[in-house]
Amino acid sequence: MTFEKSVKHNDQNRLSMGIAAVVVGILIVVILVACAGLASRLHSNRERIAELEAAKVKEEQRQQDIEEYKEYTQTREYIEEIAREKLGLVYEGEVIFKEGTSE
């Protein structure tokens, strides 16, 4: 191998190493950008999970309230209340006094 071939071979190695370094640098930048995007998505997903859990608790409370109201509507007290208010029914012998305006 002559000196000229050796110099040419070293230049090719340097060029190859430079290209490889650039490619590795580009890959590192792409990976860092992707990680930043994923971190952002992770943060927004965690916020969304917290919101959904709060909504779930609220809906569970609403469901419990509905169940309690359903049970209340089956009671005698509720039936009497509706009969008095909506239908104007009274027990036999019961007297109802209504407020009136005096003229």
**Which amino acid, one-letter code, is at 32?**
L
Please state, in angstroms and rounded to a whole number, the distance separating the CA atoms of residues 8 and 15.
11
Distance CA 22, CA 38 (A): 24
pLDDT at 73 over 70: yes
| Per-residue confidence (pLDDT) for residue 85, from 0 to 100 | 84
Domain count, the chain: 1
Query: Does residue 45 contact residue 52 with C-beta atoms inside 8 Å?
Result: no
Q: Quick count: other Cβ atoms within 10 Å of Cβ 80?
A: 13
31 within a domain of the structure (yes/no): yes
Model pLDDT for residues 17-58, shown as the tens digit of each residue: 999 999 999 999 999 999 999 999 999 999 999 999 999 999
H or E stretch covering 90? none
Q: Is residue 75 part of a domain?
A: yes
Global pTM reads 0.52
Residue 103 in 3-state DSSP? coil
Provide the residue range defining the domain that includes 15: 3-85
